Amino acid sequence: TDRKKFHTAPVGQVFRLRPFHVLVATGGGYAGYRKYEDYKLEQLEKRGIEVPVRLASEWEVALYKSVPTRLLSRAWGRLNQVELPTWLRKPVYSLYIWTFGVNMKEAAVEDLHHYRNLSEFFRRKLKPQARPVCCVHSVISPSDGKILNFGQVKNCEVEQVKGVTYSLESFLGPRISTEEMHFSQAPPGNSFQQQLVTKEGNELYHCVIYLAPGDYHCFHSPTDWTVSHRRHFPGSLMSVNPGVARWIKELFCHNERVVLTGDWKHGFFSLTAVGATNVGSIRIYFDQDLHTNSPSYSKGSYNDFSFISNNNKEGIPMRKGEHLGEFNLGSTIVLIFEAPKDFKFNLKAGQKIRFGEALGSL
């Protein structure tokens, strides 16, 4: 009789499912399942077993997109800015170094206590001698990473990994007006790919470089060229690791990205920084107006900005190896450029590469 009385609410009031919670739980669970599948594929590849391509269906892509990756990426970005107590810095950074195999001997500052927060640690500079820039070859790797694919662009399609393609026009967006470019436009009846090729006898080439979380996060100019235009595509922030790139067709067209276009000595040249989960922040050093991963955006929209003005008729000149931008975490860089038919890549698909090493030359 002395027992306390407990007043309970109906189960429906205590545990009320909302559509958002269902989407997050379902999408998050499926994303975890995909991570496990990716791990199994990586193990098969290490054993030299060819993995058949299985593309995601529309409902699988929609389910993956239901995960609030943009919100999570903004939260991750804010967490990166939190200053860590001095006593906590070494344990936190050491765990990251051990997990992703970071080589701190290459860092300009090796003392882990120097980095006040995760953002500073991710953006650490390298010792000048750590990445010598190749002077012999005309195009170098703009970053550390893994070569996913490279070669000629054919039939207006680009390979993100072997056997999985995406549309060149969907990726770059509509052709930029000739007023913002230094070269003449091809006849309007030609395909989008032919319109990008400005000199007779040239071909269009591409190269895809995946930056893992443990790689050096900054990227540099891959050649001597002039940047005349920036196009920013807001979008999803799905993972871009090789397993997901093999699974989702046109993954790079779904994700947020920043396309820099201009010209080099052989004609058209472009570098695209593709965002990914926890990599909503893409920074271009000379572009103060660029703001990525904004809370709201219209699907399929993009923002254009020209670096050519009345005061600057040429655009932004970039020298080979010059600092260009940075990611918060690992992501992907896609190069699409015009070159003569005798241009040759000095690469193998799947190989590791470091900033400054040769990609190809004439």
Give me the active site residues, please.
Answer: 144, 220, 331
Token pair listed for 359: 């990609």
For residues 3 and 149, give the distance between their C-alpha atoms in angstroms, rounded to a whole number: 71
For residues 209 and 230, give the distance between their C-alpha atoms in angstroms, rounded to a whole number: 20
For residues 273 and 143, give the distance between their C-alpha atoms in angstroms, rounded to a whole number: 11
Token pair listed for 36: 């496990």
Task: Give me the sign of the Cα torsion angle 275, 233, 164, 162.
Answer: negative
Residue with tokens 């080099």: 264
Residue 208 burial (C-beta neighbours within 10 Å; 0-12, 13-18, 19+): buried
Strand extents, DSSP E, the chain: 139-140, 145-152, 157-161, 164-167, 202-210, 218-220, 225-233, 257-264, 267-274, 282-284, 303-306, 316-318, 323-327, 332-340, 344-345, 352-353, 358-361
Over the range 36-48, which residues count as b (16 or more CB within 10 Å of their CB) and which as e? Answer: eebeebeeeeeee
For residues 109 and 131, give the distance between their C-alpha atoms in angstroms, rounded to a whole number: 15
